[in-house]
Structure 1
Amino acid sequence: MFTGIVEEVGTVSVCQEYGLAVKAKKVTEDLRLGDSIAVNGTCLTVVEFDESHFRVDLAPETLRRTSLRELEVGRRVNLERPLAVSDRLGGHIVQGHVDAAGRVMSIRPEGDCFIFRIRTPKRLMPYVVEKGFIALDGISLTVVKKGAASFTVSVIPYSLSNTNLEEKSAGHRVNLEVDILAKYVESLLAR
């Protein structure tokens, strides 16, 4: 389980059809083989590492459901280690199980923040709630407004400069994970 609070922005150093290597410093400090790590909000398993890099495998299902297949060497990615039982839950409950990839429609300034409008697969829209949580490339954000097939989030300057969002523009794909609690409620009510 993750919180959606990005610890570090790493750099893709190797990109293969079913694998990825990332250069990182902070998240490799206490890394072990088999550990989970969120890469742009996608929970992946560390299969190899040293003090400055880690490698993960990419399953076909992961490539179908996320934007990771579009990564290239040199691209920056958001990284987060799993939540320790003794840690604060600073964002929201994020599983790292990406529901789908959305697309940045627009980015506009508002005060010192930026409003990102994200086009979303319609099947996810029932789980998007104004003032509710959503993970965007693994970043815990609050939904500002909900439309028929899109939503907006407000990104503060700190989040913009400490994640890979500063490199996004209209047309870029982003990984989306909706609030797991909403999916559980729907499942229970369907019975």
Structure 2
Amino acid sequence: MFTGIIQEIGAIRALKKSSDSMELTIECLQLSKESSRGDSISVNGICLTIKEIGQNYFKMDVMKETLDRSNLKYIKSGDKVNLEKAVTPTSLMGGHFVQGHVDVVGIIESIQKTPQYWMLHIKPESDIIKFLIPKASIAINGISLTIVDVNTPSFSVSIIPTTYQDTNIGLLKSGNYVNLEVDMMGKYVYHYVQQMSVGKPKLTKETLLKNGF
């Protein structure tokens, strides 16, 4: 479990691909000193396990399911990635609960710069819009952000200067892919409502009027 508050920007030092997996070597100055073999680290919002650690780097394995579902399938040597250690009982909850389980990738449709912030418009590759509402949380490349607006099939978020400077979001361009993880509470509520409505008539204007609303 993570909070979506990025602690360091790492760099892909090397990657070794096989038919159904990939080994990542990530260069990082801070977290390599604070971590141990077996620790969980969020890499661009993906929960991965350190299998080897050395001076200013660690290595991780990425399975096919994760590659298929995330933007790691597009990663190249030298690319920058967002890093965050897993939370502990004493960690500050500065963002929201992020599981590190990417739902889908999204493509950046546009980036608009204003004097105070940047506005990103993102189109998910598959239908997660049903889980999104304005002011709800979403993790983008592991960053806890607040949804500004939802305009199917896209949504928008605003980026403050601190986030722009301290994460890899400041390196993104239109057409780039980002990892998206919907707030788990939104998914649970949606699933619960769907289950409760099985076999029951849909809530419509006519149903409300018929029942005195």
Matched, 1:49 2:64: no
The equivalent of 1:154 in structure 2 is 158
Partner residue in 1 for 2:209: none
Which of these residues, 18, 21, 29, is aligned with residue 33 of structure 2?
A: 29
Cα offset for 1:121?
A: 3.3
Deviations 1:90-137, CA, capped at 9 Å, x for gaps: 000000000000000000112320000001134200111101100000
Equivalent residues, number: 191
Q: Which runs of 5+ in 2 are unaligned?
A: 196-213
State how 1:70-81 maps to structure 2 within 5 Å: 70-81=74-85
Match of 2:11 in 1: 11
With normalisation by structure 1, the TM-score equals 0.97
Q: Are 2:98 and 1:94 equivalent residues in the alignment? A: yes
CA separation in 1, counterparts of 2:162 and 2:177?
Answer: 21
Tell me the distance in 1 between the aligned counterparts of 2:106 and 2:79: 18
CA contact (8 A) 1:122 1:149 kept: no
Q: Is the 8 A contact 1:137 1:174 kept in 2?
A: yes
Q: What displacement does 1:49 show?
A: 0.7
The amino acid that maps onto 1:8 is: E
SS at match of 2:81: strand
| Runs ≥4 residues deviating over 6 A | none
> Could you tell me how far apart the structure 2 residues matched to 1:109 and 1:44 are?
33
- One-letter identity of the residue aligned with 1:121: E
The 5 A counterparts of 1:115-154 are 115-154=119-158
Residue type at the aligned position of 2:2: F
Query: Is 2:131–2:190's contact at 8 Å kept on the other side of the alignment?
Result: no
Instruction: Please state if 1:114 is matched with 2:118.
Output: yes
- Alpha-carbon shift at residue 189 of structure 1 (Å): 2.4
- Give the Cα–Cα distance (whole angstroms) in 1 for the partners of residues 67 and 126 of structure 2: 20
Q: Which amino acid aligns with 2:134?
A: E
Task: Return the alpha-carbon distance in structure 1 between the equivalents of residues 186 and 126 of structure 2.
Answer: 15
C-alpha distance 14-6 of structure 1, shift in aligned 2 (>3 A): same
What is aligned with 2:2? 2
Task: Provide the C-alpha distance between the structure 1 equivalents of 2:40 and 2:91, rounded to a whole number of angstroms.
Answer: 16
* In 1, Cα distance between equivalents of 2:120 and 2:157: 5
Percent of pairs identical after alignment?
37
Partners of 1:56 and 1:122 in 2: CA distance: 27
After alignment, is 149-158 or 27-36 more displaced? 27-36
Gaps in structure 1 of 5+ consecutive residues: none
- SS of equivalent residue, structure 2 residue 12: strand
Give the C-alpha shift of residue 50 in structure 1: 1.1
In 2, distance between residues paired with 1:88 and 1:72? 32
SS in 1 for 2:97: coil
With normalisation by structure 2, the TM-score equals 0.87
Of 89-98 and 25-34, the range deviating more from structure 2: 25-34
